[in-house]
Structures are given as C-alpha cells and as structure tokens.
C-alpha cells in the first residue's frame, strides 16, 4: 500500500478528546464525526483537510479514551495516513482494526513539516518527504497485522476466515 | 526467563505454557464490556460480521452510564440501540437506568470479574479490574464486536514495569495521590504498551477501593494494563461479590521487568494534576492559591463508598465556599443507597453540595456539570485534557476525594488539614 499527500502537522500527546470531543459522541454517524474532527485543537482542520492528506504528529498520538470515533473521524475526514513518533496503544489497535493506515517513525515525524508533500510505502516501511527529498525507514508491521490491514480491517478478516 | 503476572494470565488464556514479550497471541476472553457510547459502533460492526448470537450470553455486558439517564435525543437513541440488541441476543448482564452504575465501579460490585480473568472493554478505563488480579484492558468498538462474536481478542504480549510498594499511607492520603505521583514521575506515556505491576509489602495496607483507583489510571501512563498481586483482601472482596472461584497468578521470581520503581507510601503527599495532562503533578503544599468554580467527586476512579465516606468526613458540619458548585456522584445504585443509609448524602446536601444519580456525566464533558470559558474545577476524575469537562479554555485539576472536599470548603485547592 502506497500513499501520497500534503502534511497537516500537530505536536505531542494529541488526545482523543481533541480529536473528537465527547460532546459529539451521541452519534456514530461518520460524516458528522468528521465534521468536528480536531475541533478543540484546530478549528480550521475540518475546513481545510483534503482527501489523501497525511497527518503527522509527535509522541503518544491518540492517548486517552478508547473511542473508535477518533480514528473513524480522522479517516472519514479524508486523511490517508497518520505518521507519529508513537501512538497510544488503544488508538493503534483501533486504527488497524478499522483500516486507517498508521506508521510509527520518530525521525520522519520530527523532520516533516506542515504543507510538505510526503509519500509512504506501508509494506516496505519507507517514508519519503518529497519537499525535502529526505527518506526515512521504519519497521513494517508484523505479518499478522499486515494481514488485518490488507483484508480491510478486523471485521473483514474474521468474515473471510483469515483471522485465526 | 520467568513470566510476569500479566504474561501468566495471557498464556493461560491462550492455551500456551509460556509467552514472551512481543509475541502475538489470540486470547480467550472471560468478559466483553461496552457502554452506551462505544457499544452502538460495536453493534454496527457485529451486524456486519453476520453472527447470529454472541459467543456467550453471560460473558457480554453493556452498561448505560456515559450519557445516561439519556442527556438528549441522540443519547436516548444510542441507549435504545443497546437495549434492543441486548434484548434480541438475550444478554444476561445489561445494566440500564435503575440498575446501572459507572461501569468500572459496577462490574466488580456485581462480581462479574474475579482474579485471573481476561477481560476486554470498549472503554479505556477497563484496566480498573487489574486491582483484583485480572488482566483487563481497554479496546475499541471493533475489538468489542469481534470479542462478542468470537470470545477472542488478539494481543501483543506486553513487557512490564514493576512498582514495589512499601510503607503505609498517611491520613487523608489515598490511592489517587499514589497513582498521580507515579504518573507525574513516569509521564503520560511512561508505561506505553506495557503492564504496570504493583507488588510489595506496602500493597497489603491499601484498600481494594484504593487499588481499583490506581489500576483505573494505569491508562493515563499509557499502560496496556495495571495489575495488583492478589492478597487476602482481594480474595475476601472477590468471594463477597462473586460465586466464581478466583485464580491467583503470581509473577515468577525470575520474571523480567523493564524497570522497577520502589514507592514508599509514607512519603506520598496530597497530589494534584494541573491542566492539561495527568503528568503535570504538584503536591498541594507547594502550590499558590488557585481559586475554583466547581468540584466534582465521583467517576470510575473515585465514586466508590470509601471515597464518599472520606469526602463526608471532611465536609461534615461545614458549608462549601460561596460560588463553588459541588457535585457528588455516587458511582452505583448500591453505593448511593449505602451512602444514604450512612447519612453521607445528608452531610453533602447540608454542606451545599448536590448529589446526582450515577453517571459518567461531567468527567467527559457530557452533561451534569459542564465548565464555562475560564472556569476551574477540582475533580476526582481521571483526565484533565483540553476541553474535557467543557469549554476549551476551562481547567481541570485532578485530585483525591479528600483534596476535592477540602477544596470545595476552602474555595481554592486545599489540603484536608487546611479546613479541619
């Protein structure tokens, strides 16, 4: 799987309360969730995000609540991939389970700036900042997790019998 | 190389003699939990799976607690969806208004978790049950859906950080102060992906209530789970609440820990986390005057009977400061009733506080105590993120029930000794 997009960048400890504030959790409608995505951190996000954009962030991205509404809102907003220095563990699972691509790469997350054009190859674990020309290598996911992602998430993996 | 408590429970539930950190395993679950916010998403995913029934009607539970009693029409629709699903699937442990409580206070009270269990819940504070020597962890709605259908979940076996407790807590210092101190020390990602295992002779002096509060906040250090070594108090608690036999897993003597911290409980002081991260801790004796607008005593962290008893002891015969809205939320119906019978509710009401029905309500900025721009609250809850309890320019200071009660009386963040 390959992605290319423009970067929207945030800092450390972006929590699920700012990704999607709990006051909007009285719905699970994806479009409605996406319309409030990042609202308490960046009121301009929902208006400027373009399909295919890549989100970059610092340490512990997605910390806090287990709300799957957070990766759902990000995915539905059009973000194709999140690159962070590290992910909070429930967010990490949820992203994989719903098929939102994520990559953990401290060097890339540090170096990539807002507005840069970035290309990422998930299978090889290679991130290229096309604006600066710098290339970063990260660990590809273990086979077990790659299989969940390529099958389109955990539900699909169970349905087609690949999850054992 | 030996195994940690967590690794032993995971191995047993994966049908393996031995597991190692980093290994990916499929675990058989004893309980799958969801609430009124996460379950609707899980139900949609469950229906996509095409499963006729849940894997075991006694091992799936849903608790209507976050926006219940229904805060608005949309919340009512979400609860109805859960109610209908549990009715259709004949789920034994569905807890609605009248029977419900805040999930992580309710499940141990109902005896649904015992030592040695493996539990997942679509709520990050599911790690609470580690206090009883269970492996329990928060997951998302898709994991919940697949757990409901298959009775299994995938895990990467975690490594662990050990906390060896010694000494005894001083008066008016609680498990909350200990866990805030620890998070302040290791940071909000200090235990990321790992287990926090609590052991040492000091743990025997901690009540089960204190342990539940501490395990509850393991997630605020990024941990996969927090777990306490089982002792006589655990067994007594489990036997009092459940018919199921506890299974005790002790770490091997040669278990490997990434780090070991020795915590002297007698040195812990009343501690507060400043906005906007739980790791921003200060001891109350070192801070300047911080005037407050609201106090919340409740939540899955600190809404238990012992928490209310402590708050009542400090508030008895006093009045809360003018303009400090003080909201007390017993975590379950049983706790509410016991607090009433013990005269605690009378103490709170006479002090000028309000007492609410059990709900998560204000902890996550749902309702029942939302903050306006610029307002400050002392809360016994677990998160003080930007906008968590209301306006993005409001502030939450996390504290114990003792500090929260004293702060309500003083009108500013205060230690119990300042008002007694």
Which residues does chain A have within 8 Å of residue B71's beta carbon, measured at their own beta carbons? 26
User: Do residues A15 and A63 touch, judged by C-beta distance below 8 A?
Assistant: yes
Strands of B271-273's sheet, edge to edge?
Answer: B281-283, B271-273, B395-398, B376-379, B294-297, B325-328, B354-355
Q: Is the whole-model pTM more than 0.80?
A: yes
Model confidence band, residue B39 (pLDDT cutoffs 50, 70, 90): very high
Of A84, A69, A77, residue with least CA distance to A42: A77
Give the pLDDT of residue B352.
98
Strand (E) or helix (H) holding A156: helix A154-159
- What is the C-alpha separation between B419 and B410, in angstroms, rounded? 7
Give the pLDDT of residue B341.
98
Residue with token string 């409608």? A29
Binary contact (B365, A22; C-beta < 8 A): yes
pLDDT tens for the 164 residues of chain A, in order: 899 999 999 999 999 999 999 999 999 999 999 999 999 999 999 999 999 999 999 999 999 999 999 999 999 999 999 999 999 999 999 999 998 999 999 999 999 999 999 999 988 899 999 999 999 999 888 888 878 877 878 999 888 887 76
Distance from CA of B402 to the nearest CA of A (A): 25
What is the tens place of the pLDDT at every residue in B187-202? 999 999 999 999 999 9
- What is the C-alpha separation between B381 and A133, in angstroms, rounded? 46
Residue with token string 């805060």? B71
Distance from CA of A128 to the nearest CA of B (A): 27
Return the residue of B nearest to A143 by Cα: B24
Q: Determine the average pLDDT of the residues in B220-239.
A: 98
Which of B66, B142, B217, B384 is the best substitution to test chain A (most A C-beta atoms within 10 A)?
B142
Give the pLDDT of residue A164.
64
Listed in sequence order, the residues at least 6 apart from B96 whose beta carbon sits closer than 8 Å to its beta carbon are B64, B68, B79, B83
A26, A60, A65 ranked by CB distance to B222: nearest: A60
Strand (E) or helix (H) holding A73: helix A69-77
What is the tens place of the pLDDT at every residue in B281-301? 999 999 999 999 999 999 999
Binary contact (B140, A93; C-beta < 8 A): yes
What is the tens place of the pLDDT at every residue in B86-142? 999 999 999 999 999 999 999 999 999 999 999 999 999 999 999 999 999 999 999
Of B252, B226, B253, B259, residue with least CA distance to B19: B252
Give the pLDDT of residue B407.
98
Give the pLDDT of residue A161.
82
pLDDT mean across residues, chain B: 98
The ipTM (two decimal places) reads: 0.95
Give the pLDDT of residue A139.
86
What is the tens place of the pLDDT at every residue in B5-38? 999 999 999 999 999 999 999 999 999 999 999 9
- What is the C-alpha separation between B308 and B331, in angstroms, rounded? 10
Give the pLDDT of residue B319.
98
Distance from CA of A65 to the nearest CA of B (A): 5
């Amino acid at each position: 799987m390959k992605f290319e997009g423009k970067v929207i960048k945030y800092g450390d400890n972006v929590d699920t309360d700012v990704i999607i504030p709990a006051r909007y959790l009285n719905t699970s409608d994806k479009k409605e969730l996406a319309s409030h995505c990042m609202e308490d951190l960046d009121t301009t996000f929902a208006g400027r995000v373009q399909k295919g954009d890549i989100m970059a962030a610092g340490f512990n991205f997605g910390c806090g609540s287990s709300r799957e509404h957070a990766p759902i809102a990000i995915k539905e907003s059009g973000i194709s991939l999140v690159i962070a220095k590290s992910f909070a563990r429930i967010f990490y699972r949820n992203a994989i389970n719903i098929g939102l691509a994520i990559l953990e790469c401290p060097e890339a997350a540090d170096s990539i700036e807002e507005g840069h054009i970035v290309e990422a190859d998930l299978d090889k674990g290679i991130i290229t900042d096309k604006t600066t020309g710098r290339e970063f290598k990260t660990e590809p996911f273990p086979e077990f997790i790659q299989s969940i992602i390529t099958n389109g998430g955990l539900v699909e993996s169970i349905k087609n019998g690949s999850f054992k | 190389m030996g195994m940690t408590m967590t690794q032993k429970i995971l191995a047993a539930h994966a049908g393996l003699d031995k597991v190692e950190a980093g290994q990916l395993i499929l675990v058989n679950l004893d309980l799958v939990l969801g609430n009124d916010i996460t379950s609707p998403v899980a139900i949609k995913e469950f229906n996509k799976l095409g499963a006729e029934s849940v894997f075991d009607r006694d091992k799936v539970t849903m608790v209507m607690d976050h926006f219940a009693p229904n805060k608005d029409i949309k919340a009512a629709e979400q609860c109805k969806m859960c109610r209908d699903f549990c009715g259709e699937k004949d789920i034994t442990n569905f807890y609605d208004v009248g029977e419900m409580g805040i999930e992580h206070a309710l499940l141990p009270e109902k005896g649904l978790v015992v030592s040695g269990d493996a539990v997942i819940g679509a709520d990050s504070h599911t790690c609470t049950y580690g206090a009883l020597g269970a492996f329990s962890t928060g997951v998302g709605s898709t994991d919940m859906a697949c757990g409901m259908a298959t009775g299994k979940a995938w895990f990467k076996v975690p490594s662990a950080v050990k906390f060896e407790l010694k000494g005894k807590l001083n008066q008016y210092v609680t498990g909350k102060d200990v866990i805030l101190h620890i998070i302040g020390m290791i940071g909000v990602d200090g235990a990321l992906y790992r287990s926090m295992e609590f052991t040492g002779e000091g743990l025997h002096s901690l009540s089960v209530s204190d342990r539940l509060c501490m395990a509850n906040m393991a997630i605020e250090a990024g941990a996969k789970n927090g777990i306490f070594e089982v002792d006589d108090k655990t067994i007594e608690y489990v036997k009092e609440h459940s018919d199921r036999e506890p299974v005790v897993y002790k770490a091997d003597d040669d278990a490997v820990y990434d780090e070991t911290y020795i915590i002297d409980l007698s040195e812990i002081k009343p501690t507060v986390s400043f906005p906007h991260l739980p790791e921003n801790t200060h001891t109350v004796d070192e801070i300047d005057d911080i005037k407050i607008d609201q106090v919340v005593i409740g939540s899955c962290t600190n809404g238990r009977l012992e928490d209310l008893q402590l708050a009542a002891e400090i508030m008895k015969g006093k009045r809360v400061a003018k303009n400090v809205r003080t909201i007390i939320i017993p975590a379950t119906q049983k706790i509410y009733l016991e607090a009433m019978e013990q005269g605690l509710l009378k103490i709170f009401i006479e002090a000028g506080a309000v007492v609410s029905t059990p709900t998560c309500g204000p902890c996550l900025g749902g309702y029942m105590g939302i903050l306006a721009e610029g307002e400050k609250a002392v809360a016994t809850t677990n998160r003080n993120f930007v906008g968590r309890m209301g306006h993005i320019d409001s502030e939450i200071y996390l504290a114990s029930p003792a500090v929260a009660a004293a702060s309500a009386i003083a009108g500013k963040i205060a230690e119990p000794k300042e008002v007694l």
